[in-house]
Amino acid sequence: MENLDAAASAAAEPATTVVIEELPPRASPSQAVSLLVNAAVGAGVLSLPFAFRCAGYIGGPLILASVAIIESFTLYVLSKWAEKTNAASYGEVVLRSAGPAAATALCVTIFFYLFGSGVAYLVILGDCFHPLISRVLGATWYTTRKAAIISIGTAVVLPMCFAESLSAAASISGVNFVAFLLVVVAIIGRSAETLAAADERRFVGVKAFAPTWVAAVPIAVFGLQCHAQVVAVFNELREYSTVTGTNDNGEVIGEEGGEDEHEKQIESRSSLLARIRIEDSLLIWRSPSRKKRKSFKLVAMTKIIITAITITAAGYALVGLPAYLAYPTSVESNIFNTFPHDDPLIQIVRAIVGVIEIASFPVNHLPARQAVKDAFFTATGIQLGGKAFIITETLVFYIGTLILALVVNDLGRVFSLTGGVCGSAIILGMPGLLLVQYAWKKQDESTDSRQLTSFPILSPLLEEGGEEEQEGRQDAPRNGNAKYNVWTSKFFWSGVVLIVACATLIGYTIAATVFF
């Protein structure tokens, strides 16, 4: 507090509260969309035609749209909680909202989910580039599948994994987004050619709805997953009015501008107020402008989430529907195995999918690194960081995924089980828990507020509390005699639905792995 008082006394305008960020956000809205799309798009694009085969040409789009709406909602929940808690990661959101035990469990779940995804990316990378390299250089020891994984992974993937932030991978995400569009166009083109040349018998197996639709749900859920990255993307989303303040009249001061103007504003005020951290927050002083400014950021993030999920779901639908109609009974879980192997266009698409996997690996590795940091901090109270930690963690993560990718040829049911259990908890279970916990907290605060307002002498305390206390009661009922009922809360029942969906999906995944 003495440092804050000294900084305030040095201000040229003593009646002004200034907000300064220690590390300015760097991602533009378009980059944020690209990062989320890149995080969602991966091996899932190859399985969407099979998902449509399981659900039908009407059931498939309905499942995809329903999952897109649900996941957009849970992404919004995580972004909203990131704003409320000033958390830097998914794990930190849960730590501040649900406690250390839940945070540790989530961090472990995220790490294993992303570790398994990394193994899958390397396996698919080998499957994509091995045939191409063998065709060009011939069949020899350095053109085998394992050699392709080792050489391309070590020379291309590993260096990109040393990035320290998602914004550093924005250019990679842009390439990945373009590659995804090219894959969509190529598969649509080949499927359209097959449909144009088809006779009436080809449509015998086409169904509007299929009884095996449940099998399509996990594919759609995991194909749209970008929850492990959304908090980091929200925090790195650029704000064009990043140095602001309020005067005696409560009016917001500060100029709006791009990143260069932001840096000039920070530099001009560096002598006014030191960059001090208070309660793990980059913003050092609460002010009326802060809540409003961050609400603008949340509105922007909501649009970014809707845009990213819509683009991804539309791309998946454009891949899945034509391919299913072209091959209604023979389409496999990997669409490449359905098309002719000597097709030149499909060979090009193989290379493009390989590029997608190369770009997806580092973007998915970054939240895995953060999960390690969060879990270690929760357990020991020590914050990991620095170049040595980044290098060590990156090498351990990459070498571990590389070894498994070389040993395992077919991910099969093992990764179906890992993805089903871990993915469901990340995407559905934990956001549901946050909503349920929030509803109970609101009921407790409502009870406390009702008890305090029953004593007139204590009533002014509710009106004179600081901003933090007022924010804590902003959802409390205005009538002091009324009580918030958790059983009529939309937050509570939304959370319950998500938790039940999570449990159902986990149960189905385990049953399908063990008995089928």
Kindly report which listed range (12-21, 311-320, 373-382, 408-417) carries the lowest average pLDDT score: 12-21
| One domain, residues 438 and 357 | no
| SS3 of residue 474 by DSSP | coil
Tokens of 64: 């995809």
Of 50, 83, 118, 177, nearest to 422 by C-alpha is: 118
pLDDT of 198: 67
More confident residue, 463 or 65: 65
| One domain, residues 405 and 430 | no
The residue out of 354, 389, 410 marking a domain boundary is: 410
CA dist 67 and 55 (Å) reads: 14
| One domain, residues 368 and 481 | no
pLDDT at 281 over 80: no
Beta bridge partners of 281: 278
| One domain, residues 447 and 305 | no
CB contact at 8 A, 368 and 357:
no
| One domain, residues 382 and 479 | no
If pLDDT is split at 50, 70 and 90, which confidence band does 243 have?
A: very low
CB contact at 8 A, 227 and 422:
no
The residue out of 391, 410, 429 marking a domain boundary is: 410
If pLDDT is split at 50, 70 and 90, which confidence band does 473 have?
A: very low
119 within a domain of the structure (yes/no): yes
3-state secondary structure 405-463: HHHCCCCHHHHHHHHHHHHHHHHHHHHHHHHHHHHHHHHHHHHHHHHHHCCHHHHHHHH
Of 15, 514, 33, 88, nearest to 301 by C-alpha is: 33
257 within a domain of the structure (yes/no): no
pLDDT of 395: 96
| One domain, residues 44 and 119 | yes
Three-point CA angle 280, 286, 287, nearest 5°: 155
Encoded amino acid at 414, one letter = V
| One domain, residues 447 and 361 | no
More confident residue, 426 or 14: 426
pLDDT tens, 86-141? 888 888 899 888 889 999 999 999 899 889 888 888 988 888 898 888 888 888 88
- For 234-248, what is the mean pLDDT? 57
CA dist 208 and 120 (Å) reads: 31
| One domain, residues 437 and 307 | no
Of 112, 179, 197, 19, nearest to 418 by C-alpha is: 112
pLDDT tens, 20-41? 333 445 668 888 888 888 888 7
Residues 6+ away with beta carbon under 8 Å from 43: 120, 121, 124, 357
Ramachandran angles phi, psi of 209, nearest 5°: -135, 145
242 within a domain of the structure (yes/no): no
Residue with tokens 């779940």: 109
| One domain, residues 394 and 434 | no
CB contact at 8 A, 113 and 467:
no
Kindly report which listed range (114-123, 133-142, 336-345, 370-379) carries the lowest average pLDDT score: 336-345
- For 196-224, what is the mean pLDDT? 81
What is the side-by-side strand order in the sheet with 17-19? 17-19, 244-246, 252-253
Tokens of 204: 């015998």
More confident residue, 52 or 274: 52
267 within a domain of the structure (yes/no): no
| One domain, residues 302 and 174 | yes
In the chain, how many domains are there? 2
279 within a domain of the structure (yes/no): no
Quote the percentage of the chain above a pLDDT of 70: 72
Residue with tokens 């090498």: 395
C-alpha count within 13 angstroms, C-beta hemisphere, residue 293 = 23
CA dist 74 and 151 (Å) reads: 38
324 within a domain of the structure (yes/no): yes
90 within a domain of the structure (yes/no): yes
| One domain, residues 490 and 394 | no
Domain that holds residue 504: 412-452+475-516
Virtual CA dihedral for 91, 474, 234, 223, nearest 10 degrees? 70
pLDDT at 60 over 90: yes
Tokens of 148: 């392709």
Residues 6+ away with beta carbon under 8 Å from 515: none
pLDDT of 407: 86
239 within a domain of the structure (yes/no): no
Q: What's the predicted TM-score (pTM) here?
A: 0.73
Task: Give the H or E element holding residue 102.
Answer: helix 100-137
| One domain, residues 485 and 396 | no
More confident residue, 182 or 479: 182
| SS3 of residue 3 by DSSP | helix
pLDDT of 71: 95
Ramachandran angles phi, psi of 104, nearest 5°: -65, -45
For the chain, the first-to-last Cα distance in angstroms comes to 63
CA dist 41 and 39 (Å) reads: 6
CA dist 64 and 56 (Å) reads: 12
